Amino acid sequence: MAVNLNPAAAEALAAVAGVDLWVAEAGIKKPGRKDLLVIRLDKGNTVAGVFTQNRFCAAPVQISKAHLEAGVQIRALVVNTGNANAGTGEAGRANALAVCRTLAEELGCAPEQVLPFSTGVILEPLPVDRITAALPGRRPASWLEAAEAIMTTDTAPKAGSRQLALQGQAVTITGIAKGAGMIHPNMATMLGFIATDAAVTRPVLNQLVREVADLSFNSITVDGDTSTNDSFMLISTGKSGAPLIDSPRHPDYAVLKAALVDLAIELAQAIVRDGEGATKFITVQVDGGRSVAECKDIAYAIARSPLVKTAFFASDPNLGRLLAAIGYAGVSDLDVDRLELYLDDVLVACNGGRNPAYREEDGQRVMQQPEIRVRVVLNRGAASATVWTCDFSYEYVRINADYRS
Amino acid sequence: MAVNLNPAAAEALAAVAGVDLWVAEAGIKKPGRKDLLVIRLDKGNTVAGVFTQNRFCAAPVQISKAHLEAGVQIRALVVNTGNANAGTGEAGRANALAVCRTLAEELGCAPEQVLPFSTGVILEPLPVDRITAALPGRRPASWLEAAEAIMTTDTAPKAGSRQLALQGQAVTITGIAKGAGMIHPNMATMLGFIATDAAVTRPVLNQLVREVADLSFNSITVDGDTSTNDSFMLISTGKSGAPLIDSPRHPDYAVLKAALVDLAIELAQAIVRDGEGATKFITVQVDGGRSVAECKDIAYAIARSPLVKTAFFASDPNLGRLLAAIGYAGVSDLDVDRLELYLDDVLVACNGGRNPAYREEDGQRVMQQPEIRVRVVLNRGAASATVWTCDFSYEYVRINADYRS
């Protein structure tokens, strides 16, 4: 049911110097499938991440945050699919640490130098013995295989690369992501890992990962549910030979950020395109607001509304549901008589009601497209925000009613 | 698909002295069905209401609020179904006023003494000529017929009565409600009208209507969408002969409030039981919080989550989704290791993870029931809140994808 989702192609994915990838089959949920990924990093790297805001954040999230905060040199990331190790209390933390310890022994580093990640069913104990038993049997893998190894309900692997030059030096960015449901910002059951051979100091990388996330992974929603496990990690290996970016005012910062945002948006949109049961890909753009925050509130109110999303599924230009969502977005001083609502290039509402020139067949034509842009112009400021989402279909209900069976 | 919804029975509905009901067929959406209700009030009444917080509030909501604020004696309420007169701008307000004017001429009062209400499709012009043409042909109706006349996607009329004594004087309360989708507090596409022959001053009735709404209509959700038209009106005719309640400290205040809350909860629950596509009725109770607000935030996070609601539809005790919803409810200092989660009497989670004594078959047994109580004990205070909701089924998608066709 994915919408214009182009599966990642192996030949389009460039290796990143300083990063080795391995996969293994641990039989966590299903026997014989790749469900374990190791991202090994050469020394001299920097790593930064953003994590779920969910209070029930999973054990691996707690451990990864602690290891990052310890300030040690990170040497590996280890990701399992099939089990989220979330809602597992003290035993869950011990299990996540046991995975770090086993991999650290294999690699000859300290457990604190390993970051663990998990995705899958929550509230089930992590089958830690199967994971630690499978780690020695890991084999070298491509980025495409890495993307495959972290899939859950995804219908296709999600990966991409960018090439750029920083002061004449060739730089590579390659990333992978997973996620198809429970998608909402801050963040979703999504994992994203982007590595570059550019050189960035840790404090600058900390700022960069937040700025990139806000414009990509924190601007999507499938069902409004925020997961316990979301993590987006940015890795800088420094192997390209490009100058060290040691400040957000460094001339290369904006160039690198633009390329990272471009790739992160592609990966974030791929998650929405693969949204559980999705038949439409919807861009919600809110312009002319007083602040980015109010634009994002309105965009998310539209993007989260089950009534709006079922209308998109039905290709029904039920524009009133769009107006209702704008109205309850929580912008308390919004003057609804001043805003304009567009479906692609069709002006459907203005002056507090339907555009007199609007014809149902124009709305119908846009609604039948697989890709639709909803645009709201608030006419009260210069701020904008864009959010990506998908429609709500029978298939969404089927997938989520059957997920564990 | 309604869950244990008992259709209102005519013989259980008591007349309220000082209230006359009329219905008519205006052919607003479908020919031949009752789609117009007039509630005529004797002089000496007081009326108070709460309305949607949606910024795109419908034209009749704007007019009703203005007429109530004018402080004049209200003589009638007029309700149409089939068209919400929302997102209709200046023309919508003129149309709502035209309906008031026509009815006022029929009744010999001023247009400001009439309150208009509408429910149905939004962003379509109100067929005002059909409504004004039908008003003279109105005929006396029972409370049951009144409940039928305001239905939209409801599968059954919703109405109830209570009898009580205030200082030895018999008092009657009878009310009707409609709504089956776009249900979320503050408020939903729900209309509720409750009349009593008790005597209550206008300021006290203003307070009473808010307190009753918070414990009933503002504690339900079907899909989290807040409509443009929600209104809950409380009418006091004063015809019972019971003493005038002129203060919240009056001894009869609490007695009358308890009976009103009891009826309003029955009507609010009937809306959830009739929730679009509902197969399960779910009570979410949060205890031991520091404030009612944080309890309600957590209850609503659970009750709104599409992942939780599809799991209920599947009778799947996917408890992790419940914990995830608690975690993202926005209570930022919540210590998840201290809370307890119950499905009916089954303790499923504590100490930050699954209860070691929990067995899947116990959760499964509860999940298969048509009525389920989710109880969260926060163990950090004495506040509580309860919210009612339903599950999320294929049928919900079908109803909302097909609504206009």
- Of B273, B307, B335, the residue that ends a domain is B273
Q: What is the pLDDT along chain A (405 residues), one digit of tens a residue?
A: 688 888 778 889 999 999 999 999 999 988 889 999 999 999 999 999 999 888 888 899 999 999 999 999 999 999 999 998 988 888 999 999 999 999 999 999 999 999 999 998 878 899 999 999 999 999 999 999 999 999 988 889 999 999 999 999 999 999 999 986 544 433 346 899 999 999 999 999 999 999 999 899 888 876 555 667 788 999 999 999 999 999 999 999 999 999 999 999 999 999 888 877 788 999 999 999 999 999 999 999 999 888 888 888 888 877 778 888 898 888 888 988 899 999 999 999 998 888 989 998 999 999 999 999 999 999 999 999 999 998 887 776 776 666 443
Q: Is the confidence at residue B215, as pLDDT, over 70?
A: yes
Q: Do A55 and B332 touch (CB under 8 A)?
A: yes
Whether A2 maps to a domain, the answer reads: no
* C-alpha closest to that of B47 among B251, B228, B201: B201
User: What backbone phi and psi angles, to 5 degrees, belong to B38?
Assistant: -120, 125
Domain for residue A353, yes or no?
yes
Which of A:322-361 have CB within 8 Å of B? 323-329, 331-332, 334, 336-337, 349, 351-354
Taking CA atoms, what residue in A is nearest to B186?
A328
- Domain assignment present for residue A379? The answer is yes
Does B101 have pLDDT greater than 80?
yes
Tokens of A322: 């769009």
Q: Is the pLDDT of residue B137 over 50?
A: yes
Assess whether B341 and B200 both reside in one domain: no
Q: Do the Cβ atoms of B323 and A88 come within 8 Å? A: no
The reply to whether residue A397 touches residue B398, judged by beta carbons under 8 angstroms, is no
What pLDDT, on the 0 to 100 scale, is given for residue A352?
83
CB atoms inside a 10 Å sphere around CB B357: 10
Q: What confidence tens digit (pLDDT) does each residue in B177-209 have?
A: 998 654 443 334 689 999 999 999 999 999 999
In angstroms, rounded to a whole number, what is the distance separating the alpha carbons of residues B351 and B356?
A: 10
Higher pLDDT, B399 or A87: A87
* Gap from A360 CA to chain B (nearest CA, Å): 11
> Which residue of A225, A336, A403 is in closest CB contact with B56?
A336
Of A46, A102, A119, A189, catalytic:
A189
B307/A223 CB distance under 8 A: yes
Kindly indicate whether the ipTM for this predicted assembly is greater than 0.85, answering yes or no: no
pLDDT surpassing 80 at residue B276? no
Answer whether residue A3 is part of any domain. Answer: no
Per DSSP, chain A holds a count of helices (H) and strands (E) of 11, 16
Q: What CATH number should be reported for the domain holding residue A165?
A: 3.60.70.12
Considering the domain architecture, whether residues B219 and B257 belong to the same structural domain is answered as: yes
Res A336: pLDDT = 86
Q: Is A239 labelled as part of a ligand binding site?
A: no
Q: Which of B273, B296, B322 lies at the terminal end of a domain, its last residue?
A: B273
Cβ atoms B284, B389 nearer than 8 A: yes
Say if residues B354 and B368 touch (Cβ distance below 8 Å).
Answer: no
Q: Count the domains in chain B.
A: 2
Give the Cα separation of B348 and B359 in Å (integer). 8
A residues 228-267 near B, CB within 8 Å? 228
Residue type at position A60: P
Higher-confidence residue: B222 or B319? B319
**What per-residue confidence (pLDDT) applies to B162?**
97
Q: Does A404 touch chain B (CB under 8 A)?
A: yes
Asked if the structure places residue A334 within a domain, the reply is yes
Residue B127 phi, psi dihedral angles, 5° rounding: -75, 75
- Whether residue A339 is found in the same domain as residue A358: yes
Q: Min CA distance, A338 vs chain B (Å)?
A: 11
Query: Which of these three, A243, A271, A299, is where a domain ends?
Result: A271
Phi-psi region of A179 (alpha: psi -120 to 50; beta: other; left: phi over 0): left
Q: How many CB contacts within 8 angstroms connect chain A with chain B?
A: 219
Which tens digits make up the pLDDT trace of B30-74? 888 999 999 999 999 999 999 988 888 889 999 999 999 999 999
- Give the range of the structural domain holding residue B43, as residue numbers without chain letter: 10-273
In a domain, B337, yes or no: yes
Q: Is residue A47 part of a domain?
A: yes
Do B324 and A122 count as a contact with CB atoms less than 8 A apart?
yes
Q: Give the model's pLDDT for residue A225.
A: 55
What is the average pLDDT across B246-251?
A: 96
Q: Chain A: residue nearest B328 by CA?
A: A54
Look up tokens 């182009």; give the residue. Answer: A6
